Amino acid sequence: MVEGKQGLRQWEESVYFFQSEDREAAFRKALEIGRRDRHLQDHQEGRLWVERRLARVISLDEQGPDPTEFEVYLLNLA
């Protein structure tokens, strides 16, 4: 963030499911997912250039070797 410039305007959270060999590979995959379409979502709004960026990977949860059923809890704290 730069003084005199507009900063964070919006926050989005996402949940992704994928298979991975180990925790380190899972973290690399999470970063890849978070960054892969970033350049497609950057755009101009009037005179402002708007960028979307991955803020952080919040958690990596193991679902077992062959999950066939799972639950996801999403909280809206707004």
Write a three-state SS string for 41-75: HCEEECCEEECCCCCCCCCCCCCCCCCCCCCCCCC
pLDDT, tens digit (0-9, with 9 covering 90-100), for 9-39: 777 777 888 888 888 999 999 888 888 877 6
Distance of alpha carbon 32 from alpha carbon 22, whole angstroms: 15
What is the pLDDT averaged over residues 58-72? Answer: 76
Q: What is the pTM of this model?
A: 0.60
Distance of alpha carbon 24 from alpha carbon 55, whole angstroms: 18
